[in-house]
Amino acid sequence: MLAIVAPGEHEGWVHVPARVCVVGVGGLGCPASLALARAGVGHLTLVDPDRVDVSNLHRQLWHHPQDVGRLKVESAGQKLRAQFPSLGLALRPGRVDASNVLALFEDHDLVIDATDGVQVKFLLSDAAVLARRPLIYGGVLRFEGLAMRVQPDGPCLRCLFETPPVDVPTCAQAGVLGSMAALVGALQATLALRPEQEKGLAWLHVLDGWTLAARTVRVRRRKDCAACGEGANPVLRDEAEAAACPTPTSTSPVRSAP
């Protein structure tokens, strides 16, 4: 536990998790891993199958021009080791799927969703419900950023979006502002240190990078949620199978910066 002392009503405590898994080492995962290491997290596991591309450099702070072509986990791990010599690190250059996602939760106190794919976000949320471990969801599209802490007995991603949206443009199509990814990644690290106080509730944080307005939306657990609702029995499915989901009732963006 770490004391945060601030004037007025914000004095309180935060909890620094010992072991955190960051899935995706791009626009969200880079700032999130930096903030978590600075906060004193003892061990980080980085998961990402991709290699550094020149188009990533403007928003992915661990990756430099000389890293183009390297695995992102190796590029980020090298910089984290240099800056935080006592930090425990594990690098997993692979994709998260239904066969390995539960182990990620069981091996860590908390998982950060810094991915770039709608389907994998729902896979992570479903696994968080099954494993009863916290997940910090994050997403950025154009000027909008979203973040929410999914924790046991609280609402999950399917309480927000009944099924994965199917018409979300890619980051390449829509564009991502690098500074918005940095904001949301740092916000995810903050949410990792601060458990929700009310059982069955969570706060969706919405950042508007154009107006600079921020708002929070209270999210309740839905009794009929297919993942965390009463009597629900979520089945973990891989991306290709999950893509056959019916048309969603909501198309709000949940995509993150790659």
77 or 154, CB closer to Zn ion? Answer: 154
Work out the number of other CB atoms within 10 angstroms of the CB of residue 3: 8
Single residue of 32, 140, 225, 254 touching Zn ion by CB under 5 A = 225
Catalytic site includes residue 171: yes
Q: Which stretch binds Zn ion (CB under 5 A): 10-18, 76-84, 202-210, 223-231?
A: 223-231
Q: Which stretch binds Zn ion (CB under 5 A): 7-15, 132-140, 151-159, 166-174?
A: 151-159
Interaction between residue 41 and Zn ion (CB under 5 A): no
Single residue of 227, 242, 254, 257 touching Zn ion by CB under 5 A = 227
Write the interaction track for Zn ion spanning residues 155-184; mark x where CB under 5 A is met and - where it is not. -x-xx-------------------------
Q: How far is CA 48 from the centre of its chain?
A: 13
22 or 130, CB closer to Zn ion? Answer: 130
Long-range contacts of 1-7 (CB under 8 A, 24+ apart): 2/39, 2/40, 2/193
Number of residues forming the site for Zn ion (CB under 5 A): 6
DSSP string of 185-218? HHHHHHHHTS--SSTTEEEEEEEETTT--EEEEE
Rounded distance, CA 60 to CA 118, Å? Answer: 20
Catalytic: which of 171, 225, 228, 245? 171
Q: How far is CA 212 from the centre of its chain?
A: 21
Residues that bind Zn ion (CB under 5 A): 156, 158-159, 225, 227-228
Catalytic residues: 171
